[in-house]
Amino acid sequence: MSKENNGEFDAPAKRSGTAEAASRPAGSPADIEAAEEAAARQGERDWLRRRLRRRIAIGLAALLGLSGAALALLLVLKPEPREVFDGLPGRYTYLEAEQPGQPHLYMMAAAPDDIVLRADDLPLRQIPAYGINGGFFYEKDLLSIAVMNDEPVNGKPGGYGSGWFNEKYARGTLVWDGAKRVFSVQVVSSADELDVPDRNRYFAQGGVSLNLNDERNWLRESRKEKLPFADEARMRSALVYNDEGKLWLIVTPTACTASNFRAALLGAVPGTGREGIFLDGDGSSQMNAAEAVLTGDSRKVVQMISISAER
């Protein structure tokens, strides 16, 4: 048996498979030449493999780079999440106002016939309606009047927490008299006390009197009506009407005192004959508008002053 068959020769000599290669003595020039040729061919194959691997690595790196760029572009261009009130008819006029040293006001003006008082006990952003937060509350009970056509929004007439009462105190309550077509602010404790000629044609929203036409006494009256945290910097909300018959729903996310907020209202709300009420504030100060969404501290609010989407 030859030495080749015992595996003592290099692989190239084995792979020749010819009788001539089998009969050559080991270490002959022909064997050396064949081995060198095989090594050269193997080296060329190794070089080609390395070159292919480099090309694959470069391609993968480029692909990863493109994927990263595409992902970054998608993140940048990712559309804002849709709101539950997107697409509703915008039956209001929107305005923003900010003067040096004053809070930034976000304002929606609507016709009184389009105002709907409602109770949902949700963060405003989850309610499919435009509008702002309403009156004071504790847990699930309304502490401010919220009545439409003699029906409280959160229960039955005369019921605690229903919206029939300004609990504990007589407070400023904004009233729309649908029979006479006029607004007023009436300081009352209960819806029973409201001065309206037709109990089937009005709405009433409780808060605390702004007294925009009484610069001397407004602060004293607001203290009498127990406006919470008047001297602290808090987010705030308000309702203000004017002689044009428009009702302005107003929220500021700027932490400010009651005095600063009131001064900003006087400087920003259009028209003459302006009057209105403070509403619940701070984390409850929330707004749903196509132009701006103000979430306060995202707490649930028992009651909302909404703008009807129906014609």
Among residues 48, 77, 106, which one ends one of the domains? 77
In whole angstroms, what is the distance from residue 229 CA to residue 209 CA? 15
- The residue behind tokens 């090594």 is 39
The count of structural domains within the chain is 2
pLDDT, tens only, 259-268 = 999 999 999 9
Same domain, 114 and 257: yes
Q: Average the pLDDT over 60-76 and give the result.
A: 71
Q: Do 57 and 130 lie in a common domain?
A: no
Q: Do residues 13 and 34 make contact, with C-beta atoms less than 8 angstroms apart?
A: yes
Considering only CA atoms, give the Rg of the chain: 40
Q: Same domain for 42 and 146?
A: no
For residue 65, what are its two tokens? 């780079």
Beta bridge partners of 184: 175
Q: Which domain holds residue 22?
A: 4-77
Q: Are residues 183 and 280 in the same domain?
A: yes
65: pLDDT strictly greater than 80: no
Domain final residue, candidates 77, 112, 138:
77
Select from 291, 293, 261, 298 the least CA-distant residue to 279.
261
pTM of the model: 0.76
- Whether residues 167 and 297 share a domain: the answer is yes
Q: How far apart are CA 68 and CA 233, in angstroms?
A: 45
Q: Are residues 106 and 252 in the same domain?
A: yes
Q: pLDDT (tens digit, 9 = 90+) per residue, 159-212? A: 999 999 999 999 999 999 999 999 999 999 999 999 999 999 999 999 999 999
86 lies in some domain: no
| Distance from C-alpha of 189 to C-alpha of 210, rounded to nearest angstrom | 17
Q: Is residue 82 part of a domain?
A: no
